């Protein structure tokens, strides 16, 4: 085991005071607002040099036990944050806001820029391959061994990670970052301020084949349907690592503005995902499904092909959407986990469930006659 956890390396030598953070990000300081913050940490790992946060009153006991120097809290917890037994180096501080989670998010973004900048490529790396007919904005940054093919376009301030490939005619919007080994397929495009993590493939062929009977009658082979569409991705879209977003068969596959996808997600050809919809890891959306805006899909959920999900539909993790869902709401379909022996008995009985229902019906009939 590595002896020094990486998180300790995220500490910055020079602290920042709560007062300075409030000036940059708002909220109300209470208590020792001159306290120096050297790092941000989850509540159980935070010490006097750390800032942490509590979003709900149900974490009051954890707050009481914490040694975090500064805590982002909702107003109802400010007193609890300050009332802890005092640290050796002075009093505690509370950073009070009605929405601790949103303030934490803003703080992480400030911290990224001012205290822990992400290492970034500068300019065009000498090993990158830029095809003669490609257009790369002078402010774009292109990593080692990245490839920009003929007719491709890289916008202002965009960034390609090491080995990223932007194929012929593809377009990367301003400020958008493609991680290492990302592929943006030919004729595909992504809008502004996007972020695509390592290894994701955008614009591979959709899975389209026509069955053709074999002459010997033993079965059929599959003849390829060339995938002539592309992938069109809006602004402010984030896509995780090792995802696959297939190009459309005839029309396009579309991810609208603000969509957020976690890792290892499969989006089939012709799918449309509405704005600000989010999907957790390992989700699979089959071809031609249409998913509304503001939806959420839990990890490992599967949506079958050609279905429609209305806006504001929420699918629980590992649930399988087998029919269109046209009413907003939360939907689930998960086999409950149990110890193996109990599961075996219940699963075996499940295979007789319809028969049990018939037996129950028969009993009911006998009782009423």
Cα–Cα distances in angstroms (integers) from residue 96 to residues 20, 36, 55, 75, 93, in the given order: 14, 17, 11, 6, 10
**Residues 105-144 vs a copy of itself: string with x where CB under 8 A?**
xx-xx-xx---x-xx-----x-x-x-------------xx
The pair of structure tokens assigned to 35 is: 């306290």
At closest approach, how far in Å is the CB of 133 from a copy of itself? 11
Helix (H) or strand (E) holding 64: helix 60-65
At closest approach, how far in Å is the CB of 86 from a copy of itself? 24
Q: Which of residues 179-198 bind a copy of itself (CB under 8 A)?
A: 179-181, 183, 185-189, 191, 195, 197-198
Q: Which of residues 234-253 bind a copy of itself (CB under 8 A)?
A: 234-236, 238, 240-244, 246, 248-252
Q: How far apart are CA 38 and CA 265, in angstroms?
A: 36
Q: Which of residues 59-98 bind a copy of itself (CB under 8 A)?
A: none
Q: Which is nearer to a copy of itself, 85 or 118 (CB)?
A: 118
Q: How far apart are CA 270 and CA 114, in angstroms?
A: 41
Task: Tell me which stretch binds a copy of itself (CB under 8 A): 18-26, 65-73, 84-92, 290-298.
Answer: 290-298
At closest approach, how far in Å is the CB of 311 from a copy of itself? 7
Q: Which is nearer to a copy of itself, 28 or 352 (CB)?
A: 352
Instruction: Please say whether the beta carbons of 364 and 347 come within 8 A.
Output: no
Q: Which of 81, 230, 271, 309 binds a copy of itself (CB under 8 A)?
A: 230
Asked whether position 56 contacts a copy of itself by CB under 8 A, the answer is: no
Q: How far apart are CA 197 and CA 178, in angstroms?
A: 6
At closest approach, how far in Å is the CB of 247 from a copy of itself? 9
Tell whether the torsion through CA atoms of 234, 239, 242 and 246 is positive or negative: negative
Task: Tell me which stretch binds a copy of itself (CB under 8 A): 29-37, 67-75, 82-90, 327-335.
Answer: 327-335
Q: Which is nearer to a copy of itself, 19 or 322 (CB)?
A: 322
Q: Which of residues 292-321 bind a copy of itself (CB under 8 A)?
A: 293-294, 298-300, 302, 304, 311-312, 315-321
Q: Which of 16, 25, 82, 204 binds a copy of itself (CB under 8 A)?
A: 204
Instruction: Identify the active-site residue in 197, 269, 276, 312.
Output: 269
Q: Tell me which DSSP letter residue 119 carries.
A: P
At closest approach, how far in Å is the CB of 170 from a copy of itself? 9
The pair of structure tokens assigned to 297 is: 């899909």
At closest approach, how far in Å is the CB of 354 from a copy of itself? 4
Q: How far apart are CA 166 and CA 8, in angstroms?
A: 36
Q: Report angle CA 301, 304, 309 to the nearest 5 degrees.
A: 80
Helix axes 340-350, 353-368, angle to 10 degrees: 60
Q: Which of 149, 154, 158, 159 binds a copy of itself (CB under 8 A)?
A: 149
Tell whether the torsion through CA atoms of 118, 119, 123 and 129 is positive or negative: negative
Q: How far apart are CA 82 and CA 230, in angstroms?
A: 56
At closest approach, how far in Å is the CB of 263 from a copy of itself? 4
Active site residue 306: no
HSE-CB at 144 with a 13 A cutoff on CA atoms is 1
Q: How far apart are CA 268 and CA 279, in angstroms?
A: 14
Q: Which of 101, 123, 306, 326 binds a copy of itself (CB under 8 A)?
A: 101
Asked whether position 344 contacts a copy of itself by CB under 8 A, the answer is: yes
Task: Look at residue 303 and give its three-state secondary structure.
Answer: strand
Asked whether position 349 contacts a copy of itself by CB under 8 A, the answer is: yes
Helix (H) or strand (E) holding 18: helix 18-25
Q: Which of 60, 225, 308, 324 binds a copy of itself (CB under 8 A)?
A: 225
Q: How many residues bind a copy of itself (CB under 8 A)?
A: 165
Catalytic residues: 269
């Amino acid at each position: 085991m590595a002896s020094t956890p990486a998180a300790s390396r995220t500490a910055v030598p020079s602290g920042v005071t709560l007062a300075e953070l409030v000036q940059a990000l708002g909220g109300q300081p209470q208590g020792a607002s001159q306290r120096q913050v050297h790092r941000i940490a989850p509540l159980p790992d935070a010490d006097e040099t750390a800032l942490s946060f509590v979003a709900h009153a149900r974490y009051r006991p954890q707050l009481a036990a914490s040694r975090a120097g500064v805590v982002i809290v909702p107003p109802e917890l400010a007193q609890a944050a300050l009332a802890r037994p005092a640290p050796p180096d002075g009093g505690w501080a509370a950073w009070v806001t009605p929405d601790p989670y949103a303030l934490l998010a803003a703080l992480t973004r400030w911290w990224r820029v001012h205290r822990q900048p992400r290492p970034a490529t500068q300019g065009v790396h000498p090993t990158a391959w830029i095809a003669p007919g490609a257009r790369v904005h002078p402010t774009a940054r292109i990593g080692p061994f990245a490839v920009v093919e003929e007719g491709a376009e890289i916008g202002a301030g965009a960034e390609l990670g090491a080995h990223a490939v932007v194929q012929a005619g593809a377009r990367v919007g301003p400020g958008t970052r493609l991680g290492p080994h990302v592929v943006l397929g030919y004729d595909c495009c992504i809008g502004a301020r996007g972020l695509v993590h390592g290894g994701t493939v955008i614009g591979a062929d959709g899975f389209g084949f026509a069955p053709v009977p074999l002459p010997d009658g033993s079965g059929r082979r599959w003849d390829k349907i060339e995938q002539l569409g592309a992938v069109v991705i809006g602004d402010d879209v984030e896509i995780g690592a090792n995802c696959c977003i297939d190009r459309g068969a005839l029309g396009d596959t579309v991810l609208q503005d603000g969509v957020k996808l976690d890792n290892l997600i499969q989006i089939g050809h012709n799918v449309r995902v509405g704005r600000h919809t989010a999907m957790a890891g390992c989700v699979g959306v089959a071809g031609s499904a249409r998913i509304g805006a503001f939806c959420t899909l839990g990890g490992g959920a599967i949506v079958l092909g050609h279905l429609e999900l209305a806006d504001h539909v929420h699918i629980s993790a590992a649930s399988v959407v087998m029919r269109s869902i046209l009413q907003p709401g939360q939907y689930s379909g998960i086999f409950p986990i149990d110890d193996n022996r109990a599961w075996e008995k219940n699963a075996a009985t499940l295979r007789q469930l319809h028969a049990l229902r018939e037996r129950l019906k028969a009993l009911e009939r006998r009782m009423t006659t």
